[in-house]
Structure 1
């Protein structure tokens, strides 16, 4: 019991002490320096602490009681051997406008580094605390000169960044990496604040020049890695590929980095370079899974850009791969891709379903079975056999509760119900999914829920919403031109209703998909001009900017739209990208 009381008393004292410190800090932050001084003095009386001494000095300086501050600094210098206190004394004289005396103390502090280089960090940090950045740099340089084993390149780089000297910031980080290559990941995070997609920008040019010099004088793999990273930031994927090939030849054990680059170029729709990278992977990989991944992505790239006359050739390529690698567990992803191709591109959903049902007979895991059933459900939705699709999706939810694929299946249940026109049931499912552990699913669920809730009560027959859901289904079925015509009907017959901007936005996306870029621009522009305060305004701004930047080669127009997002839509999901 006594031990408990002692423990309780000790904890209570700690809490009260912490609260007293917070109160002192609050007084200081509010500019109530007399109260802050009294509080810090009481804290220091109860528990001697360097932190409180420095706060007392700082508070006295705020009160312009410089002589009192000097007395405490000098007393502290007697008590402890902290050379950084010499900086504090010099700064106190600087505040008194005695700059010549201040400089004398500053030089004395730097000379202490020559006596003992281990003082470097403390002294330099004291200079930094008072924004005396040049003196901090002098201190770090002196310490490294006195003891070459010390490395303050990172601290110096940070100061150069604060001063806006980007070349020296880059140079010092690179020097630090030379001694500690593992630091390159952290350096990339820092560099990302200073480089951009514009390869000819001053900062990009500086970093590229420094890296090329490093690579020429000391061809270590981390320089090629950083140069590849820079080229990726600049979207110069061919040059990044050149560096990645050089890295691979030095260490041919893994193609994972090159595969990552291939996936990046695929995502960025740089199909020619993506194909080249996948071909390199096929030529150099001995791993079947890697080869299958490359084959699958190459086929999917071909499908995206294929005219109907080429679909037969693509089908034959799938067949050749199945003959070469077989129909078993390892080729399951390729089988699902083939089922998708048959249904959504060759418009042969029955054949696709039969093929994938055979995939279910293979010795596969519960998760793999769920991925096949997910695609089978999609194909049934394509055929508008909604109830049968719901059976597959529900089976996945039952067999893999709380998993990401289970949440995806629940979203597809909601989407299928929405296609059917059962908006209440769809909305009830979407409410649950708003808390999904998958951010992507949660975002999609919220978006669809808002669409339904904003439009289902406007018309008791829900005519416009049903037409919109039908157009959405047609888009899912790859019947894009028919969907565009149906959206025209909504825009004509339901003009002025809340669904109008949604219809315009979907139509704009379909125009993009069907390469009708001028019409997409017109639709996005109409939303921006007439619905600037509505929920899709930032979406329209972003996608129109992307068209100007990537399709129409009009970067100035794109820049103006990105700036509109930054200044008028700070809460937009596109804010960071803009």
Structure 2
């Protein structure tokens, strides 16, 4: 038995050993051929590939061999090779693409296209190769033939998804409308591809509603919706409006759909929030007003009331100049919401806003504290939400000159919510007290940590305060000017404008060329606005513009404040337009650009 096993093993070795050696030789030659190609020694590579191909006529050898022949412009030999390989491998129509390409490279486009068409004719008879043929045509940038092949594949294999390939071809051919229609058809069949379709479409449109592609897309979607209304296409149309920042259209459309088929409240609410984040407050109101008026039992009823109130507070805060009538109205609005919905977790922000306005705009800190303290002591409310009220109470106490009481409240919040944004906000408020006290080095160390805050507001505030300290300490080693300036800021916070002005005048007299002077002029202008001395405010702002120009980071701030005083208070339309125009022309990167454009147009149309 052992003897038979030995004979059998010897037999296997005799049979397979030569083949293994043969295969090893081919691999060695292939490596050598690739190296020759890398060195641009095409003639030597062709000679070696020819030798290998005679032994092993596989695609692994055929493809690099054909590429070498094309590199050397040896089209006759390349044609001969492509034909023989096609005939050898059962006349696979995808191999005809190589032959057609060689004819075209040779300059014989008619023969090339004839061969390409033959490939298409063959897959009509035998569609199993259609996907491969389409892909090969695409790789050769033969988009029209690729499209023909994909359409055959799509017809014969409806369960396969070729829509993305077809839409890409339409895009490459400049047939944008057909591209959109293909993707729309895909969404009808498979709504789950929405994100992929948005990604593809997003490359062809922009935020201009009059852009040609935007118009084609919207018309295509609307036409399909007129044939058959579907949620997925409505969603796509709304998405297009959002790309154009046409929030009004998006909200109008969604409300119209809700009136017809209902169940769109969540989308309307989300669109309202998006409009708020883009500061389109009046448009956002339409979304929330619709939800409030629709039904008092709806899940978005209370949330919409709160969002409408949120908008009113955001609009109040964005007013460059706040009149007594503005203050009275926002207080009334907040009180009505609390009366309507009651004191609960959801209304904490409303309570905080109310207390802030009463304390810092109505100048009635005692009334504000009476609102806050009993709610802070309410153990049934969410601790994190109550923490925001504690910080507000801390601010009020600081405005009354009770620094240590304020720090106590800030510290409680910081300790309780150390790793939360609320805790980081409290920490920043504590640092601000250190800054007011002139502890700049300690404040700077703490600010370095807060700059990395996950809260954009805390991070930005920390960066700004850090820069103020760094820039001015470097210029003034005695810290005197910055210490005085910090005290002046605290006095403004405490509404003690006489003391603030006195300190600012000291700095101007002692340090007339200090880098803080433009900041001081702006602070003095803000004080005069609060005191309703608008002409004085205009003079301080004009001094910034004339003396420092656009070298001051407050240049556009000064222009905008002046424009608002002229337009909103003094009714001097031409002066206001002149200032807004200066921002539009001279300050294209200004944060006031969009608002200035809006206000300029409004004044021009009066």
TM-score interval, smaller chain:
0.7 to 0.9
Deviation of 1:452 after TM superposition, in Å, equals 3.5
- 1:503 equivalenced with 2:554 (yes/no): yes
TM-score normalised to the size of structure 1?
A: 0.73
Q: Is the 8 A contact 1:471 1:487 kept in 2?
A: no
- 1:125 equivalenced with 2:176 (yes/no): no
Structure 1's 117 and 431: CA in aligned 2 closer, same or farther, altered over 3 A? farther
Q: What is residue 100 of structure 1 aligned with on the other side?
A: 110
Deviation of 1:128 after TM superposition, in Å, equals 1.9
Deviation of 1:310 after TM superposition, in Å, equals 5.3
Deviation of 1:173 after TM superposition, in Å, equals 1.8
Deviation of 1:457 after TM superposition, in Å, equals 1.2
- 1:200 equivalenced with 2:200 (yes/no): no
Deviation of 1:106 after TM superposition, in Å, equals 1.3
In structure 1, which of residues 520, 545, 551 is the aligned counterpart of residue 599 of structure 2? Answer: 551
Give ranges in structure 1 of 5+ residues lacking alignment. 1-20, 529-539, 555-578
Q: Is the 8 A contact 1:508 1:523 kept in 2?
A: yes
- 1:61 equivalenced with 2:109 (yes/no): no
Deviation of 1:232 after TM superposition, in Å, equals 3.4
Deviation of 1:221 after TM superposition, in Å, equals 1.9
Instruction: State how far apart, in whole Å, the 2-side matches of 1:330 and 1:547 are.
Output: 31
Q: Which structure would you say has the larger Rg?
A: 2
The equivalences for 1:76-95 within 5 A come to 78=88, 83-95=93-105
Q: What is residue 342 of structure 2 aligned with on the other side?
A: 326
Which has the higher mean CA deviation after the structures are superposed, 336-345 or 490-499? 490-499
Instruction: State how far apart, in whole Å, the 1-side matches of 2:260 and 2:242 are.
Output: 20
Q: What is residue 406 of structure 1 aligned with on the other side?
A: 423
- 1:164 equivalenced with 2:170 (yes/no): no
Instruction: State how far apart, in whole Å, the 2-side matches of 1:411 and 1:342 are.
Output: 23
CA RMSD, aligned part only? Answer: 4.7
Instruction: State how far apart, in whole Å, the 2-side matches of 1:307 and 1:491 are.
Output: 22
Q: What is residue 448 of structure 2 aligned with on the other side?
A: 431
Structure 1's 150 and 481: CA in aligned 2 closer, same or farther, altered over 3 A? same
Q: What is residue 482 of structure 1 aligned with on the other side?
A: 527
Aligned residue pair count: 518
Which has the higher mean CA deviation after the structures are superposed, 209-218 or 509-518? 509-518
Which has the higher mean CA deviation after the structures are superposed, 506-515 or 494-503? 494-503
Structure 1's 436 and 57: CA in aligned 2 closer, same or farther, altered over 3 A? farther
Deviation of 1:440 after TM superposition, in Å, equals 5.7
Deviation of 1:487 after TM superposition, in Å, equals 10
Instruction: State how far apart, in whole Å, the 1-side matches of 2:449 and 2:376 are.
Output: 29
The equivalences for 1:402-481 within 5 A come to 402-418=419-435, 421-438=438-455, 441-460=458-477, 481=526
Instruction: State how far apart, in whole Å, the 1-side matches of 2:435 and 2:232 are.
Output: 51
SS in 2 for 1:436: coil
Instruction: State how far apart, in whole Å, the 2-side matches of 1:64 and 1:407 are.
Output: 70
Instruction: State how far apart, in whole Å, the 2-side matches of 1:457 and 1:498 are.
Output: 23
Q: What is residue 367 of structure 2 aligned with on the other side?
A: 351
SS in 2 for 1:157: helix
Structure 1's 227 and 64: CA in aligned 2 closer, same or farther, altered over 3 A? same
Deviation of 1:258 after TM superposition, in Å, equals 0.8
Q: Is the 8 A contact 1:504 1:523 kept in 2?
A: no
* 1:460-489, Cα deviation, whole Å (9 max, x unpaired): 355776687678779989997327778976
Structure 1's 143 and 410: CA in aligned 2 closer, same or farther, altered over 3 A? same
SS in 2 for 1:85: helix
Q: What is residue 188 of structure 1 aligned with on the other side?
A: 198
Q: Is the 8 A contact 1:225 1:243 kept in 2?
A: no
In structure 1, which of residues 379, 395, 399 is the aligned counterpart of residue 412 of structure 2? Answer: 395
Instruction: State how far apart, in whole Å, the 1-side matches of 2:454 and 2:397 are.
Output: 27
SS in 2 for 1:398: helix
Structure 1's 381 and 509: CA in aligned 2 closer, same or farther, altered over 3 A? farther
Q: Is the 8 A contact 1:464 1:490 kept in 2?
A: no
Instruction: State how far apart, in whole Å, the 1-side matches of 2:290 and 2:126 are.
Output: 55
Instruction: State how far apart, in whole Å, the 2-side matches of 1:292 and 1:428 are.
Output: 43
Which has the higher mean CA deviation after the structures are superposed, 133-142 or 518-527? 518-527
- 1:291 equivalenced with 2:301 (yes/no): yes
Q: Is the 8 A contact 1:144 1:151 kept in 2?
A: yes
Instruction: State how far apart, in whole Å, the 1-side matches of 2:411 and 2:61 are.
Output: 63
TM-score normalised to the size of structure 2?
A: 0.70
Instruction: State how far apart, in whole Å, the 2-side matches of 1:409 and 1:85 are.
Output: 71
Q: Is the 8 A contact 1:61 1:69 kept in 2?
A: yes
* 1:476-506, Cα deviation, whole Å (9 max, x unpaired): 8999732777897698599988995123244
